[in-house]
Amino acid sequence: MSLMITEECINCDVCEPECPNSAISQGDEIYEINPNLCTECVGHYDEPQCVDVCPVDCIPKDPDNVESPEELQLKYQRLMAKSA
């Protein structure tokens, strides 16, 4: 399951540089997470880095993009193969 950023986002800019997959970008009003790039940091870290640094706790799991840990691992492997 990828993550999402809710409207509670205060645009503090701390999450974007923490994302190892460059899945976070500035949207029209708040930061956004591209579900095609988000692996919840599977393959990189034990915990999602954006969630760890978010001061307002506005990054929950995205119910519209449900993925198992195995699917997230496969996505991570595909992303790394493309960047190699």
Pairs from 48-55 (Cβ < 8 Å, separation ≥ 24): 48/3, 49/15, 49/18, 49/19, 49/20, 50/3, 50/15, 50/18, 50/19, 50/24, 51/3, 52/18, 53/14, 53/15, 53/18, 54/14, 54/15, 55/10, 55/12, 55/14
Q: Residue 7: inside a domain, yes or no? A: no
In tens, the pLDDT along 30-67 reads 999 999 999 999 999 999 999 999 999 999 999 999 99
* Domain encompassing residue 60: 16-83
Q: Residue 22: inside a domain, yes or no? A: yes
Q: Residue 6: inside a domain, yes or no? A: no
pLDDT above 80 for 84? no
Number of compact structural domains in the chain: 1
pTM of the model: 0.92
Q: Residue 28: inside a domain, yes or no? A: yes
| Nearest of 56, 5, 63, 53 to residue 31 by alpha carbon | 5
In tens, the pLDDT along 3-35 reads 999 999 999 999 999 999 999 999 999 999 999
